[in-house]
Structure 1
Amino acid sequence: MTSSELRPCQDERAALRLLHDGELDLEGRLVDASNTTLRGIITLDGVTARCVYKPVRGERPLWDFPDGTLAGREVAAYLVSRATGWDLVPPTVLRDGPFGPGSCQLWIDEPEETEPLVGFVPADAVPPRWFPIAAARDDDGAVYALAHADDPRLARLAVLDAVINNADRKGGHVLVGPDDRIYGVDHGVSFHVEEKLRTVLWGWAGRQLPPDVAELLDGLAGQVTGALGDELAEHLTVSEVAALAARIERLRAAGTFPQPSQEWPAIPWPPI
């Protein structure tokens, strides 16, 4: 690229302006995605960045998410992440694009040498300070463990997922950016009014929330009833915003990380 390239750790306001107002040229489609997911290059005032564009018209109808759009929930997840101050979701906007309105999110490039923080490892060789979550076997019968690192950055992501009721936190949706920050992506099936938390980040289940998290939830509760709630109302239903506030209150009252449900699968498929 001949122009300067925006990195995710740069000014957030500049990133949002680029995503919202920049010229979007598509590079291709991510074929593994269940809904239309396109990668593109976005340019504005000599600054470029790669992005992910998910047009609303490419969304497959979901019987259990009949209201709103997946694109709107992508933006809502970013707004909640921004309100926490943890910035776990890359800058995301709703904008018009080559295939109509959709979410547009800053692309996160993982350095080639990055070690994954979630994955399948031999059951007898789970790394130190990793949590085994579930058992599995490969085609030859070898035993593996689905596991993740005991990393405070992942713990924050687990809290965010509990807040937004993320029904699809796969290991492949956890990225480590070039600035060594954790990012969560793909939040189109979040914010349901019923409990649907499905995640691979169960390592802290039932444990006490860190003091800073409890304090943050206090502040977040107030934001949902104020300006943040007004922003979310542009992308979520009234019931979904109310359910978000109720989940925050339950987390505050419990003071612990949530436990896996016994009523629905607690781990998404595929998990990675």
Structure 2
Amino acid sequence: MPAPERLPAPGVSATGKLEELLARGELTVVGRIREASNAVLLCTVAYGGLSADCVYKPVKGERPLWDFPDGNLAQREVAAYLVSEATGWGLVPPTVLRDGPYGEGMVQLWIGPGGSGEPGGEDTGDGESGGDLLALVEGEEAGEGWKPVALADVGEGRTALLVHADDPRLRRLAVLDAVINNGDRKGGHLLPAPDGRLYGIDHGVTFHREDKLRTLLWGWAGEPLTEEAREVLTALAARLADGEPLATRLAELITPVELAAVRARVADLLRTGVHPQPSGQWPAIPWPPV
């Protein structure tokens, strides 16, 4: 019997095939990623002669969050993927909601070093997943090609400037995070792929009705949105209208109030025409930042 064909990270044409593989394939648990705060299982998935590595996060393994009483992390992860796909930017790896060995959960294509139990696609806490996208620099100037975020305490009474790359991929991700109200955009959630694409992972803390945006990507705060972003947001607003397929699917994953909040955030971004700024009501940067 021939071995299943291994699928690489998705291109546009491969996305539908990967979604089918993730949704219908046989899941085999390889191991557990212990650095994660909730149950995260590294798996292989095989279907129709194809196979891939993936991450499976069962709902039963989620720790309850007092400020996210509705739905679950898995549903919000899938909702984030659907919105990402609707933008056309493909910033979130293919993600589905399905039954698995430990019940219903989120299954997402693995992005990172080969499966084999090596946790390259999850937040390992070392900050290396972001590659050359984040840095600490001396002084108060970010330097060419970088955007300042905040001063960070590096010990012994010293501070350094936290910066991120002035990268169009990161800028798109900053717009997506503003739309889905991402409360946990850490450095370890940024995964550059070998083909040059950038993916963001861990979107369970999203879609809250209140402003919860916490991110390392504040470098464009208050700056005008790009023309590309405005065009994408205009198209997204239309796809979020009642009766549209995207809105119908999101209504199965988040509450009506949360869906209304998504529409309001898109409308507000288009009205102001700028990247959002920290609200000042709570810490703007997640902890730990990586």
Q: TM-score, normalised by structure 2?
A: 0.89
Instruction: Compute the displacement of 1:145 (Å).
Output: 2.3
Residue by residue over 1:152-172, the C-alpha shift from the partner in whole angstroms, topping out at 9 and shown as x without a partner, is 110000000000000000011
Q: Which residue of 1 aligns with 2:124?
A: none
Q: More deviation in 221-230 or 124-133? A: 124-133
Q: 2:80 aligns with which of 77, 81, 91?
A: 77
Q: 1:203 aligns to what? A: 219
Give the Cα separation in 2 of the matches to 1:156 and 1:141. 35
* Contact preservation (8 Å) 1:110, 1:178: no
Residue segments in structure 2 that go unaligned for 5+ positions in a row: 115-119, 121-127
1:240-259 superposed matches below 5 A = 240-259=258-277
Q: Deviations over 1:14-41 (max 9, x none)?
A: 1001100111111111111111111111
Q: Contact 1:30/1:38 (CA < 8 Å) preserved in 2?
A: yes
Stretch moving more, 51-60 or 126-135: 126-135
Alignment of 1:80-159 (within 5 A): 80-109=83-112, 116-124=131-139, 126=142, 128-159=144-175
Which residue of the partner structure matches residue 69 of structure 2?
A: 66
AA aligned opposite 2:145? R
The equivalent of 2:10 in structure 1 is 9
For 1:163, the equivalent position in structure 2 comes to 179
Corresponding position: 1:184 with 2:185: no
Q: How far has the Cα of 1:114 moved from its partner?
A: 8.4
SS in 1 for 2:195: coil
RMSD: 2.0
Whichever residue aligns with residue 134 of structure 2, its letter is G
Aligned sequence identity (%): 54
Of 157-166 and 46-55, deviating more is: 46-55
Give 2:281's aligned amino acid.
E
Deviates more, 1:114-123 or 1:11-20: 114-123
Contact 1:81 1:87 in 2 (8 A): yes
In the alignment, residue 131 of structure 2 is paired with which amino acid? P
Q: Is residue 34 of structure 1 aligned with residue 19 of structure 2?
A: no
Alpha-carbon separation, structure 2, partners of 1:157 and 1:115: 13
Q: Which runs of 5+ in 1 are unaligned?
A: none
Aligned length: 272
Quote the residue 1:214 is aligned against: 230
Change (3 A) 1:110 1:209: farther
Task: Return the offset for 1:115.
Answer: 7.0
> How far 1:254 moved relative to its partner?
0.4
Residue aligned with 1:128, SS: coil
Aligned residue in 2 for 1:174:
190
Amino acid at match of 2:81: Y
